[in-house]
């Protein structure tokens, strides 16, 4: 069985759990407590020198960085595809995913926020304002892209879940935590509501994890 080093509230871990659940892959959940900085301890850094989750262990193979992990899962376990068959569709899904994974999530992740709090002495209200600003700006652009796709079903692309949904749902969870008003993004909210009715997404939810 594969091992997934994860933290319940980590957005990158969350998206990886969703992808693995959608592909019906069993894994052992190994909690890494970011709140206690376990990711910085020598035992975990021997596994991932970056000190980041998730890490997926498949036999002797250690996989890092959630975008690469999702691509690996797609190649090795293609039975339930999370990318469209056509090149244009795959580009669209990867672009939607990158809007979240490259332009929203990184500037709101825990390392950045801890630097703001601890090194720059930014108070919590301003930290929340920081997160709200960048999530809102990213969601505004993403909402427009979703609205322009007349062929879209109940997911970010088409009628089946893709990488883009794996990225979106954790970011919506983070948006709620940082008090983002989601009423301005009806398409995003609709996709989130639908996805959370599906077992693969519900089982991946942060509060459903053993370390929650």
pLDDT at residue 72, as a whole number: 98
Are 92 and 165 within one domain? yes
CATH number at residue 108: 1.20.1050.10
Are 39 and 73 within one domain? yes
What torsion do the CA atoms of 177, 146, 95, 15 make, to the nearest 10 degrees?
Answer: 40
Q: Is residue 209 part of a domain?
A: no
The pLDDT of 182-207, averaged and rounded, is 98
Question: Could you give the maximum distance between any two Cα atoms of the chain, in Å?
Answer: 50
Last-in-domain residue among 80, 115, 146: 80
**Residues 179 and 132: beta-carbon distance below 8 Å:** yes
pLDDT at residue 40, as a whole number: 95
Burial class (CB in 10 A: 0-12, 13-18, 19+), 78: exposed
Are 107 and 73 within one domain? no
Residues 6+ apart with CB under 8 A from 91: none
Are 41 and 129 within one domain? no
Task: List helix spans (H) across 117-161.
Answer: 124-148
Q: Is residue 208 part of a domain?
A: no
The model scores a pTM over 0.95 = yes
> Measured between alpha carbons, how far is 162 from 140 in angstroms, rounded to an integer?
20
Are 76 and 97 within one domain? no
pLDDT at residue 212, as a whole number: 96
pLDDT band, very low/low/confident/very high, at 196 (cuts 50, 70, 90): very high
pLDDT at residue 178, as a whole number: 94
**Residues 44 and 51: beta-carbon distance below 8 Å:** yes
β-strands 55-58, 27-31: how paired? Answer: unpaired
Last-in-domain residue among 61, 80, 99: 80
Last-in-domain residue among 80, 104, 134: 80
β-strands 27-31, 61-64: how paired? Answer: unpaired
Query: What is the domain count for the chain?
Result: 2
Q: Is residue 35 part of a domain?
A: yes
Q: Is residue 212 part of a domain?
A: no
Are 120 and 21 within one domain? no
pLDDT, the chain, mean: 97
pLDDT at residue 161, as a whole number: 98
Are 110 and 13 within one domain? no
Q: Is residue 103 part of a domain?
A: yes
pLDDT at residue 109, as a whole number: 94
pLDDT band, very low/low/confident/very high, at 188 (cuts 50, 70, 90): very high
Q: Is residue 92 part of a domain?
A: yes
pLDDT at residue 65, as a whole number: 97
> Measured between alpha carbons, how far is 211 from 208 in angstroms, rounded to an integer?
9
pLDDT digits (tens, 9 = 90+) for 85-141: 999 999 999 999 999 999 999 999 999 999 999 999 999 999 999 999 999 999 999
Are 14 and 61 within one domain? yes
Distances (CA, A) of 135 to 94, 104, 108, 189, 191: 19, 6, 8, 14, 17
pLDDT at residue 36, as a whole number: 96
Three-state secondary-structure class, residue 46: coil
Are 68 and 150 within one domain? no
Are 148 and 187 within one domain? yes
Q: Which residue in this structure is represented by tokens 């062929």?
A: 151
CATH number at residue 48: 3.40.30.10
Are 24 and 110 within one domain? no
pLDDT digits (tens, 9 = 90+) for 46-57: 999 999 999 999
pLDDT at residue 88, as a whole number: 97
Are 197 and 94 within one domain? yes
**Residues 163 and 155: beta-carbon distance below 8 Å:** no
Residue 173 domain boundaries: 87-201
């Amino acid at each position: 069985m594969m091992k997934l080093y994860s933290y319940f509230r980590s957005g990158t871990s969350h998206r990886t759990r969703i992808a693995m659940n959608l592909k019906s892959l069993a894994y052992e959940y190994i909690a890494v407590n970011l709140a206690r900085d376990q990711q910085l301890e020598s035992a975990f850094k021997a596994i991932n020198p970056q000190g980041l989750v998730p890490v997926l262990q498949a036999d002797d193979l250690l996989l890092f960085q959630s975008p690469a992990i999702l691509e690996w899962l797609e190649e090795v376990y293609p039975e339930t595809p999370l990318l469209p068959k056509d090149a244009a569709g795959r580009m669209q899904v990867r672009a939607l995913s990158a809007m979240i994974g490259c332009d929203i999530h990184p500037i709101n992740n825990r390392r950045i926020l801890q630097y703001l709090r601890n090194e720059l002495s930014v108070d919590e209200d301003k930290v929340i304002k920081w997160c709200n600003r960048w999530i809102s700006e990213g969601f505004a652009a993403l909402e427009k892209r979703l609205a322009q796709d007349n062929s879209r079903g109940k997911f970010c692309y088409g009628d089946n879940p893709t990488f883009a949904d794996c990225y979106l749902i954790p970011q919506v969870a983070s948006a709620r935590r940082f008090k983002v008003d989601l009423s301005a993004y009806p398409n995003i909210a609709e996709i989130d509501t639908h996805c959370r009715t599906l077992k693969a997404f519900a089982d991946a939810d942060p509060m459903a994890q053993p370390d929650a």
